[in-house]
Structure 1
């Protein structure tokens, strides 16, 4: 069995992406998050946000999508590949994601340990942040996954 030393503390930043009106509508429809806060422009005007916002679970999905290639590349550089998502801890939302926002993800390798039950596998924790291009933090989460040493 090969032991891998991953660079704890390594951090990467994703490319940026602007979330369009159409994408907000598509994500809202796909996830059935049809609260007026997410689907009605007129209702949203009466809220503190002044505009529809993307639902929290969708914001988490956008974050994972943005940073996926970053942490996959880091694993590949160390001879590893992704096996499965194990879960998320400490998901926190700080500001809304609005249509037209340009966002990017940050991912930091927080912890990696060998699996006790699966030889050649590792339990890895990433700290993920989604931020607007101006640096406003929208969300943080701990992303826990299983990875393995590739043959």
Structure 2
């Protein structure tokens, strides 16, 4: 069995990369049709009449693609996955530029803050700064997820 990466093993400045993932036109339209049916996410013609100029993914779709890439990377590292307890929320979510069909996304996550939970000693709180880039190395999204991590069990 792989020893988990516990809260105590994480340091401010730790980082890891994840991705890549290529966005398809069909995915952009399908996501928008179900979750964000604004015209500029659904058709080239409607998008051409806006500041977007052409079809662009919903920001919520970009956020979901982050999660898909991030979890896939976590699952490749069983030691990390074993201590992850989910998230409490997200601070500072920003969509910086449109994500277009054909874009290839990748991300970097860096630990920016650690805090032991006062009410739940079995967990600590980890804040990361996440940046998602497109194939041109342009930042398309930033966010600060607030995650819960299992603390090292007391040796008994």
Assess same fold via TM > 0.5: yes
Cα RMSD for the two superposed structures: 2.3
1:48 alignment partner, one of 48, 51, 56? 51
Q: Contact 1:103/1:131 (CA < 8 Å) preserved in 2?
A: yes
How many angstroms apart in 1 are the aligned matches of 2:64 and 2:108?
14
TM-score between both structures, scaled by the size of structure 2: 0.83
Gaps of 5+ in 2: 1-5
Residue 133 of structure 2 is aligned to residue 126 of structure 1: no
Determine the C-alpha separation between the residues in 2 that align with 1:64 and 1:22: 19
| Aligned equivalents of 1:40, 1:73: Cα separation in 2 | 36
Return the TM-score normalized by structure 1: 0.85
- Conservation of the 8 A alpha-carbon contact between 1:44 and 1:50: yes
In the TM superposition, what are the counterparts of 1:95-114 in structure 2 within 5 Å? Answer: 95-114=97-116
* Number of equivalent positions: 148
Distance 1:76 1:113 in 2: 20
Contact 2:11–2:114 under 8 Å retained in 1: no
Instruction: Tell me by how many angstroms 1:67 deviates.
Output: 2.2
Q: Which residue of 1 aligns with 2:3?
A: none
